[in-house]
Each structure stands twice: as structure tokens, then as C-alpha cells.
């Protein structure tokens, strides 16, 4: 199929653009000059830029810089992009200019070409009025990150927390052996272990809420280098009010636009909370797959849903695939954190020029954690069940129950009893009674697992 082209012009001259494309010359130059990788600009970021354009047009009209017909046309076109109606018009990869200028212009050009022919809208003069890529793009990363965290990740985390609460209630009476260093320790309630998972997700939730207070500070109005050239204080105030209305989220101005353009510490801070969530998710998933190991040659303390065949050669094998998916996501998030930390350190003078890779990795972490936690909650946690008989069996044969004797016979005597039981392959009770230090009545009174879990 032959592609038809039209001629577009910019400050560098003429260039051929596919006739069906809504973008213009600057987008096409980037499309041709940066054929690097397949990672496109995240649509959440594109939609955030469009929301800023919509807010900017409204603000510029309010302060008398933009005519009503142009402002209305720009707002309508930008709103359509925010709704996802033109997602195929943003072809640029993240491996482009480090300021995101070409993607900012991609949005400007598409908006201009979506406006009616009767209204002369220029991508730079009108759509980009009172703006620079240098303040729009970092603001868009913050806006996109805020919206995805609030609308996708936090609700998922709430659902996981609720499910874990239910599991705690269901498993309060299940006593199992605790483990430290992967070795037997004193008993715990299964509900207590679950409460640790739940508390980890809750802590991450609160850390993300704290991080959002940093993420909601935007350098809009700083324009090219932070001085606000070609913008005004009235515009800055109006654009933030409009953007907050459009997104239904309260955004405020970064008190220092020079910081907002060149320093990316807010992304590092919030992604630290995402990395913390990844760590908590990794811990929970690893605990579950350890306890579900078996079914006959592992711990076998719990069962998890059998969602699909686990082997192409071993019939009947079932694997903890949801745990594996979640832990792989956690690994990716931790890798993203390294990229974000380094990229954020690379601000020079008035601008950081690692913005596309910062935005890409930041948004990917949020998306992956959101979707992985949904899958894990629905396909693993909801169907998790305790094997109480197996838990009781492992508690009964544990040598660490000897800890309950410490206050009666002392640590050293307890150690001798435990070592004797292990060496002679007898029960702890048999070894304790054989030692002459404990009677069978005393053992029954002092060594009670249920009394060891709620001190």
C-alpha cells in the first residue's frame, strides 16, 4: 500500500508528512531522526500534556492574550486528546531530545490541525502560548504520575488491604511455625503473618500520599529557563486553577521554578515509595510461594489457586505464577528506580534533559504495580487457603518450642534438650522429660503454642 504525503513547513524548511497524519513538520523530523527502540511516549503523558494545553488556552483567554474563538478551538481539540480520541497521532519514541520538546510540539501540532480551518491556530504562537517545552514537559510528568497513582494504584492498594484484612479474620485460629533466617522459630498466628503483609501495603499507601504533596507542585509559568519569559503571574495562577478543574485534582505552583525545571527530586522521592511498595509486594509474594511449596515435598502450609498448567512436560504440576509475575514486576520497578535516580541527578544549569526516560520509567512503575497487584489480588489472594493440619504438624515437630522453657530451666539447658532431640530424632517432649529437668505435666503446662503467640 502506497503512502500519500503532504508538504509541511517549519523554520527549517519543507518536509513530507503522511497525508492522513494530524502532526506536522517538527513531529515528522523527530520521527525520522530518532528511530531508536520501540518505546513510545506513554499515552498518560500525552494526555497530561493535552490537559495542560487545554488549561493554558483557557488561562490565556482569561488574561486577554488569546481570542475566544482560538481558545475554544484549542480547548476542544485538547479535550478530545485527553479523552483518547487521537492516540494514534503520537508516534514519537522516548529516545529523543531530553527536554521532551518534540513531543510537546507533537501535541501542539495535532491540536492545531484538529481546530477548524476557519480559525487560524498556530502550534507555537497559539497552542504553545505562555509556555515552553521546558516547563510543560516536567509538569506533565507530575500530572500524569499524580493521576495514575490516584486513579489506578491507590484504589488497587485499598482492595489488597481489604482482602488481607479478610484473610486475617479467617485465619486467626491458625497457629503455624514462625521462621527467621529460613529456620524454625517460635510459633505465630497465620493472621499475624498476614497482618505484616497488610501493614506493609498500608505503609506504602501512606508514603505515596505523602509523595503526592511533592508531585502536585508544578513549574508551569517558568517557561524556558525559570524566569517566566513570555508568561505572567496572572497566567500562572489561571493555568493552575484551570488544570485543577480539568483533572479534578489540586495542583499548585512550585515555589521556585528554577528548581522545578532542573531538579527532579520529587520524582525520586515518589518513586522511592513505589520501590518500597515493590519491596513489600516482593516479600508478600515470596512468603506465599514458600508456604505453598510442594504439594508433598515442600512446606505445604497453604494452597493457592491453580490457574493454569505449570509445566509443558510434567502433568498435573501447578506453579505459583501470580507470585512470579509480581516479583518480576518488583524487580523491574527496582531497576527503574536506579534509572530515575541517575537521570534525576543530571540537571545542568537551568534544565534536566533526561525527562523522557524519567517519565517513561516513572509511569511504567506505576502501571506495572497497579496491574500486577490487581492480578495478584484476584488470582491468588482471594483463593488462598490455610492447610491447618500441615501447619499443626510442623508446629508439633518444631524444636524451637523449647524457647518456652527458658524462663523455667534456663537457656543452656534448653539448648541441650533441643540438640538432643535433633541428634536422636525424638520429639522435644521426649528429650525434655529424658533430661530430668522437666516433668510431663510441666511440659504440657509450659509448652503451649497458643500461649506463645499473643504475649
Q: Give the residue numbers marked as catalytic.
A: 181, 311
Query: Which residue reads 497524519 in cell numbers?
Result: 21
Distance of CA 383 to the CA centre of its chain: 24
- CB-based contact 46:367 (threshold 8 Å): no
> What whole-number distance in Å separates Cα of residue 408 and Cα of residue 414?
9
- Cα–Cα distances in Å, from 332 out to 102, 249, 282, 339? 27, 29, 11, 11
- CB-based contact 238:59 (threshold 8 Å): yes
> What whole-number distance in Å separates Cα of residue 368 and Cα of residue 275?
12
Please name which of 235, 236, 250 lies closest in space to residue 62, comparing C-alpha atoms.
235
> What whole-number distance in Å separates Cα of residue 398 and Cα of residue 185?
8
Can you give the chain as a three-state secondary structure string? CCCCEEEEEECCEEEEEECCCCCCHHHHHHHHHCCCCCCECCHHHHHHHHHHHHHHHHHHHHCCCCCHHHHHHHHHHHHHHHCCCCHHHCCCECCCCCCCHHHHHHHHHHHHHHCCCCCCCCHHHHHCCCCCHHHHHHHHHHHHHHHHHHHHHHHHHHHHHHHHHHHHHHCCCCEEEEEECCEEEEEEEHHHHHHHHHHHHHHHHHHHHHHHHHHCEECCCCCCCCCCCCCCHHHHHHHHHHHHHHHCCCCEECCCHHHHHHCCHHHHHHHHHHHHHHHHHHHHHHHHHHHCCCCCCCCCCEECCCCCCCCCCCCCCCCCHHHHHHHHHHHHHHHHHHHHHHHHCCEECCEECCHHHHHHHHHHHHHHHHHHHHHHHHHCHHHCEECHHHHHHHHHCCHHHHHHHHHHHCHHHHHHHHHHHHHHCCCHHHHHHHCCCCCHHHHHHHCCHHHHCCC
Amino acid at each position: 500500500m502506497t503512502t500519500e504525503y503532504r508538504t509541511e513547513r517549519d523554520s527549517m524548511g519543507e518536509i513530507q508528512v503522511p497525508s492522513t497524519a494530524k502532526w506536522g513538520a517538527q513531529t515528522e523530523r523527530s520521527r525520522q531522526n530518532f528511530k531508536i527502540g520501540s518505546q513510545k511516549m506513554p499515552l498518560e503523558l500525552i494526555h497530561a500534556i493535552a490537559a495542560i494545553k487545554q488549561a493554558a488556552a483557557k488561562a490565556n483567554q482569561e488574561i486577554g492574550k488569546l481570542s475566544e474563538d482560538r481558545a475554544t478551538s484549542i480547548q476542544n481539540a485538547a479535550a478530545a486528546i485527553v479523552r483518547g480520541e487521537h492516540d494514534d497521532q503520537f508516534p514519537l519514541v522516548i529516545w529523543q531530545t531530553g527536554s521532551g520538546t518534540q513531543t510537546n510540539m507533537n501535541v501542539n501540532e495535532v491540536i492545531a490541525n484538529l481546530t477548524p480551518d476557519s480559525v487560524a491556530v498556530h502550534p507555537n504562537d497559539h497552542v504553545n502560548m505562555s509556555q515552553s517545552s521546558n516547563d510543560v514537559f516536567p509538569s506533565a510528568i507530575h500530572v500524569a504520575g499524580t493521576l495514575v497513582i490516584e486513579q489506578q494504584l491507590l484504589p488497587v492498594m485499598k482492595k489488597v488491604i481489604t482482602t488481607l484484612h479478610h484473610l486475617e479474620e479467617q485465619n486467626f485460629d491458625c497457629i503455624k511455625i514462625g521462621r527467621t533466617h529460613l529456620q524454625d522459630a517460635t510459633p505465630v498466628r497465620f493472621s499475624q503473618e498476614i497482618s505484616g503483609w497488610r501493614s506493609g501495603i498500608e505503609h506504602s499507601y501512606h508514603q505515596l500520599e505523602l509523595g503526592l504533596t511533592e508531585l502536585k507542585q508544578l513549574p508551569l509559568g517558568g517557561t524556558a529557563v525559570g524566569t517566566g519569559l513570555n508568561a505572567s503571574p496572572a497566567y500562572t495562577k489561571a493555568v493552575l486553577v484551570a488544570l485543577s478543574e480539568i483533572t479534578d485534582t489540586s495542583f499548585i505552583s512550585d515555589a521556585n521554578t528554577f528548581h522545578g525545571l532542573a531538579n527532579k527530586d520529587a520524582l525520586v522521592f515518589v518513586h522511592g515509595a513505589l520501590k518500597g511498595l515493590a519491596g513489600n509486594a516482593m516479600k508478600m509474594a515470596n512468603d506465599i510461594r514458600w508456604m505453598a511449596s510442594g504439594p508433598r515435598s515442600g512446606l505445604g502450609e497453604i494452597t493457592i489457586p491453580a490457574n493454569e498448567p505449570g509445566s509443558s512436560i510434567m502433568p498435573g504440576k501447578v506453579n505459583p505464577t501470580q507470585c512470579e509475575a509480581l516479583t518480576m514486576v518488583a524487580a523491574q520497578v527496582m531497576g527503574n528506580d536506579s534509572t530515575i535516580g541517575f537521570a534525576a541527578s543530571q540537571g545542568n544549569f537551568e534544565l534536566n534533559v533526561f525527562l523522557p526516560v524519567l517519565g517513561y520509567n516513572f509511569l511504567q512503575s506505576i502501571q506495572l504495580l497497579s496491574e500486577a497487584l490487581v492480578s495478584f489480588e484476584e488470582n491468588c489472594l482471594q483463593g488462598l487457603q490455610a492447610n491447618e493440619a500441615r501447619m499443626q504438624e510442623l508446629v508439633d515437630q518444631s524444636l524451637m518450642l523449647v524457647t518456652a522453657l527458658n524462663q523455667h530451666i534456663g537457656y543452656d539447658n534448653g539448648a541441650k534438650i533441643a540438640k538432643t532431640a535433633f541428634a536422636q530424632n525424638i520429639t522435644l517432649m521426649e528429650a525434655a522429660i529424658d533430661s530430668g529437668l522437666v516433668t510431663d505435666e510441666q511440659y504440657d503446662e509450659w509448652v503451649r503454642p497458643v500461649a506463645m503467640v499473643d504475649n
